[in-house]
Amino acid sequence: MNVTRLQAAGQRNGIALVAAGAVLFSTGPVMIAAADASGPVLSFWRLWIGAAVLALLFATHGRLTRRWPTRAGWKWALRCGAIFAVHQLSLMTAVKRTSVVDVALMSVMAPVFIAVLAARLFDEHPGVRFRLWSAVALLGAAVVVLGGSSGPKGDPLGMVLAAANVCCYALYFVWSKQARDDIDVLPFLFGAIVTAAVLVSAFVLVAGEPVADASGTDLLAAAGVAIGPGVVGHFVTTWPLRWVPANIPPLLQLCMPFLAGAMAWAFLGQQITLVHVFGGLVTIAGVAGAIRSPAGRRMVAREEAVLVTGPA
SS3 202: helix
For residue 309, tell me if it sits in a domain: no
How far is CA 70 from each of CA 20, 182, 187, 308, rounded to the nearest angstrom? 30, 8, 10, 20
Domains of the chain: total: 1
Cα 3 versus chain centre, distance? 25
For residue 260, tell me if it sits in a domain: yes
For residue 68, tell me if it sits in a domain: yes
DSSP class of 308: -
Query: pLDDT tens, 142-193?
Result: 787 676 554 445 567 777 887 888 889 889 999 999 998 899 999 999 999 9
Q: Is the CB of residue 71 less than 8 Å from the CB of residue 187?
A: no
The Cα 150–Cα 275 span in angstroms is: 13
Mean pLDDT along residues 212-221:
92
The Cα 141–Cα 170 span in angstroms is: 18
Query: pLDDT tens, 95-146?
Result: 667 655 566 667 777 888 888 888 888 888 777 888 898 889 888 887 876 7
For residue 310, tell me if it sits in a domain: no
SS3 214: coil
The Cα 41–Cα 288 span in angstroms is: 37
Neighbouring C-beta atoms of residue 24, cutoff 10 Å: 23
For residue 259, tell me if it sits in a domain: yes
For the chain, percent of residues with pLDDT exceeding 70? 83
Residue with the larger pLDDT of the pair 144 and 309:
144
For residue 298, tell me if it sits in a domain: yes
Q: pTM, whole model, 2 decimals?
A: 0.81
Q: Is the CB of residue 174 less than 8 Å from the CB of residue 115?
A: no
Nearest to 166 by CA among 120, 127, 113, 209: 113
Query: pLDDT tens, 25-67?
Result: 888 877 877 788 887 888 899 999 999 999 999 999 999 988 9
- Biggest CA–CA distance in the chain, Å, is 54
Ramachandran sector of residue 152 (left: φ over 0; alpha: ψ -120 to 50; beta: rest): beta
SS3 152: coil
The Cα 7–Cα 1 span in angstroms is: 10
Using the predicted structure, report yes or no on whether residue 84 has a pLDDT greater than 80: yes
- Within 8 A by CB and 6+ apart from 59, the residues are none
Query: pLDDT tens, 6-17?
Result: 666 666 778 889
For the chain, percent of residues with pLDDT exceeding 90? 33
Could you list the residue range(s) of the whole structural domain that residue 93 is in?
A: 3-304
pLDDT value for 151 = 45
Q: Is the CB of residue 264 less than 8 Å from the CB of residue 270?
A: yes
Let me know how long the chain is: 312
Residue with the larger pLDDT of the pair 242 and 85:
85
Helices 3-12 and 14-33, axial angle in degrees (round to 10): 80
For residue 312, tell me if it sits in a domain: no
Mean pLDDT of the residues in the chain: 83
For residue 311, tell me if it sits in a domain: no
